[in-house]
Every structure is written in C-alpha cells, then in structure tokens.
Amino acid sequence: MAVAAASCSKEYSCENNCRLNPVVNDTTHTGPIISSDFHYFSISYQVALAGTGNNAWGYSIPAFDTLSGILDSVEINMFTTVTYHFSLANNSNDVHSYFVNVSRRDSLSFDSIAVINKDYAFYYGPYNIQAQTNYRDSLSIINNIESTAMLTAQLNKFIGTTEIAFDFTPASISKVSGDNYSFNGSFRDSSYIVSTYHYKKKLK
C-alpha cells in the first residue's frame, strides 16, 4: 500500500508515494447563520492519486481540533477518471465478434467504516475482427465522475489532535467474450479526493 502524509503545501499527482495537500478555506459560509453568535466555516484537505487501476492507497488528514469550533459534518468528494488500453487478436481463420466488459469499484473507508463504495459496469462491442488480425483500442471508461458522502454520525472519530487515516482500494477488471482470441489490456486511473470539515464557532 502506498502511503500519503499530510504535510505538503502544494498539490501534485503521484504514482507510488504521495503527500497530502492541505487547503484551508476559513471564510464565513454564505448559508444561514445559526444564531446571532454562531457562523458556519469549513476547512478542506485534498489528495491526488494516480495509478494502474488496482493500487491500494493510504493517506491521512489532520483530525478536527475542537479549539476551532463545533464539528457539524464531514463531506467527502471524490473525482475519478479511468482509461483502458487493450489489444485483441482474432486467432481463428474466420471473422469473429467480440465484446469487452469492464468493471470498476471505488472503495474509500476509515477506521473500518465504509465512506464511499461505488460500482461501475461498461460493455463495449461488438468488435468484428477479421481472421488472424489484431485490433487495438483506447477507451475512456470514466471521465471525472464525482462520488460524494456527507457524514453526520460518529463525528467523534474525526475529533482529536492526531490524524485520521483513510484507505482507498480501487479495483478495475476487464473480460472478453468471444472465441479463439488473445488479449491484453492496461488501466490508468486518477482519483482526486477532497475531505471537508464543516463546523460552527462563536464569533467574539
């Protein structure tokens, strides 16, 4: 598992080891004021991960410090992009039709609690390939699709002075339907994850 640490000041993508990018947004919320004494605020932490579709990632964000205010919710926004490149050869002496099935699961959790579990399934074809012919293609499987979770329970797990560790385990799988073929393919993926603490505090 590749590990990301929360200490860098500028965002960048990574292949193996990645450092978290803390981005502070500490301005008064444009939404309603809770009372004459309390206002909404937020602080966000961002990480960008790039891999081969099946990398296991670990990263951490700072826990919420109650000196900042009262934690109302934790919002997670994940933006995923997946591409797939493959080569499919018809090894027979006749024309054959083939289908390529691609599945993807994004699983994000912390402290053994599932935050985001999202499944995708895509079907491509038919590919009518001539005898003894090799066909190549590049597919845009997912293009910056957003997955969101708003956590309002067990907020005490996010409070403290240490760090909150997340596990991100994507899984990308492909399968070919057809006869007498040879096949190989490769995935590339990128995931941009934003974790936001929404909180309120008393303004003096």
Those residues with Cβ within 8 angstroms of residue 97's Cβ, 6 or more apart along the chain or in another chain: 125, 126, 127, 128, 129, 178
pLDDT in tens, 10-39: 232 333 334 444 444 443 343 444 555 778
Judge whether 148 and 67 are in contact, CB under 8 Å. Answer: no
pTM of the model: 0.82
pLDDT in tens, 122-140: 999 999 999 999 999 999 9
DSSP bridge partners of 2: 57
pLDDT in tens, 62-81: 999 999 899 999 999 999 99
Name the E strands within the chain: 2-6, 18-23, 38-51, 57-62, 70-90, 96-110, 113-129, 133-151, 163-168, 171-177, 181-202
pLDDT in tens, 169-178: 999 999 999 9
